[in-house]
Amino acid sequence: MPRGTHLTEIDQAMIKALRKHNISPQEIAKTINRSKSVVYKFLANPETYGTAVRLGRPPIVSETAKRYMIRLASCTGESAKVIKKESGTPVCERRVQQILHEAPHPKYTKRVAAPKLTQVHKDARLKYAEDNTTDPPTWGEIIWSDEKKFNLDGPDGFKYYWHDLRKEPNSFFSRQNGGGSVMIWACFSSRGKSDLAFLRGNQDSVSYVQTLQPYLFPFAHTHHGKNFTFQQDGASIHRSNFTLVFLNEMDVRLFPHPALSPDLNPIENLWAILARSVYYKGKKYRSTDELELAITKAWVKIPIETLQTLVKSMPRRCFGVARANGGFTKY
């Protein structure tokens, strides 16, 4: 987390808003990507924060040079080695990395596979965030669901770059073909997780409903009774007339979900946790049977505390989307 820099006005506003929603200082620090000490310091006396005059010898690298390095990282995403060369500053590569790490916005991160947001998408995401902040649902009562593909040869690779947290993350095109794979469906809530459904062949509305019957409803009725709220994304088989009529006949209350919003579905993070376990130390698999067994074993081991932590992150996710004006967040 960035150290040695003052909180921006946006950071200060975020701290105040999150604290009003009873978010702990430790969680606030994680949300705004700052140290716990600076959050505690601000909360101790918000009115006088940042007014003290700093004394001492000027730093070797001028503030102008630092701003230029940060601007290069923000605009190009290049490595510290390239930024050092382009800036012409007589410091080592490690010092450039320190300067970028100290700044509040650049973050050395992976390019992730992400869809392109239009303004319509951003507006819908912003409305979702605002609606669920001013009048939040009972997040622990919502059942989150999604499909996930696992490849025999491991997850898609990632390239690292300096990402400006004020901008949308860079992305890459994930593989479409190559190697065997396994497709699964599951759901979870703060009260537990369903069994895994291993999906065979091409999926349509009928096969999707056939998946929900033995996997969603037993889980939902066991943990939430018959009056539960179900979240699904906007995939065509999820929103088809056949599927929606079926869910309506079953008296399932749907929780709205904006299009192209994986960061607003905590099951995406659950998939990431599952994938890290399945592919631990670069593990690859020789058959789909072997991969399915590994996925099942890893799924069973995920504790309830992990599920509850993911669900508790929803208020912060909404704040993040609102802060990004509907853009993508770190989630």
Q: What is the pLDDT of residues 195-207, one digit of tens each?
A: 999 999 999 999 9
pLDDT band at 174 (very low <50, low <70, confident <90, very high): very low
Top pLDDT among 161 and 100 is at 100
Cα separation of 98 and 58, whole Å?
17
- Verify that 70 and 165 share a domain, yes or no: no
Q: Note whether residue 123 is domain-resident.
A: yes
pLDDT of 18 reads 86
Residue 145 in this model has a pLDDT that exceeds 90? yes
> Out of 14-18, 266-270, 319-323, which region has the weakest mean confidence (pLDDT)?
14-18
Residue 236 or residue 153, greater confidence:
236
Residue type, 285: Y
- Assigned domain for 305 exists: yes
Give residue 221's pLDDT: 97
Stated as kind and residue range, the H or E segment containing 183 is: strand 181-189
Mark which of 109, 130, 158 sits at the end of a domain: 109
Dmax over Cα atoms in the chain, in whole Å?
A: 73
pTM, entire model: 0.64
Task: For residues 152 and 242, state if they share a domain.
Answer: yes
235 and 299 assigned to the same domain: yes
Its domain, for residue 46, covers 9-109
| Alpha carbon distance, N-terminus to C-terminus of the chain | 16
Q: pLDDT value at position 191? A: 97
Q: Which residue has the higher pLDDT, 46 or 255?
A: 255
**Which long-range contacts link 177-181 to residues 24+ away (Cβ below 8 Å)?**
178/153, 179/151, 179/152, 179/153, 180/151, 180/152, 180/287, 180/288, 180/291, 181/149, 181/150, 181/151, 181/152, 181/288
Task: Quote the strand ranges of 27-137, DSSP E.
Answer: 106-110
Q: What is the mean pLDDT of residues 207-233?
A: 96
Band the pLDDT of 108: cuts 50, 70, 90.
low
Whether the per-residue pLDDT at 157 is higher than 70: the answer is no
Same domain, 154 and 212: yes
9-20 and 314-323 are packed helices; what angle lies between their axes, rounded to 10 degrees?
150
Indicate whether 317 and 263 sit together in one domain: yes
Contacts (Cβ under 8 Å, ≥6 apart) of 192:
219, 222, 223, 304, 307
**pLDDT of amino acid 135:** 92
> Residue 114: inside a domain, yes or no?
no
How far apart are alpha carbons 125 and 260 in whole angstroms?
A: 9
Question: What does the pLDDT average to over 243-270?
Answer: 96
191 & 166 share domain:
yes
Does residue 152 lie within any of the structural domains?
yes
What's the mean pLDDT when you consider all of the chain? 86
For residue 177, pLDDT over 60 is answered with: no
- Tell which of 109, 143, 176 closes a domain: 109
**307 and 231 in one domain?**
yes
Between 195 and 11, residue with greater pLDDT: 195
Indicate whether 281 pLDDT > 80.
no
- My answer on whether 305 and 164 are in the same domain is yes
Whether 180 is covered by a domain: the verdict is yes
Q: pLDDT over 70 for what percent of the chain?
A: 85
Task: Give the residue from 276, 288, 220 showing the smallest Cα distance to 252.
Answer: 220
166 plus 43 within the same structural domain: no
Q: What is the pLDDT of residues 287-313, one digit of tens each?
A: 999 999 999 999 999 999 999 999 999
Confidence of residue 1 (pLDDT cuts 50, 70, 90): very low
CATH number at residue 256: 3.30.420.10
- pLDDT over 80 at 10, yes or no: no
**Residue 256 DSSP one-character state:** P
**How many CA atoms are closer than 13 Å to the CA of 303, on its beta-carbon side?**
3
User: Which pLDDT score is estimated for 169?
Assistant: 60
Instruction: Report yes or no on 277 lying in a domain.
Output: yes
Confidence band for 129, pLDDT divided at 50, 70 and 90: very high
- Nearest Cα residue to 30 out of 326, 309, 271, 328: 309
What pLDDT does residue 209 have? 96
* The residue count for the chain: 331
Does residue 50 belong to any structural domain of this protein? yes
The structural domain count of the chain equals 2
Q: Which of 63, 80, 109 is the last residue of a domain?
A: 109
* Mean pLDDT, residues 40-65: 77
Question: Both 166 and 101 in a single domain?
Answer: no
Give yes or no: residues 191 and 96 share one domain.
no
Residue 328, domain member (yes or no): no
Residue 325 scores a pLDDT above 50: yes
- Both 44 and 170 in a single domain? no
Whose CA is closest to 234, among 253, 258, 264?
258
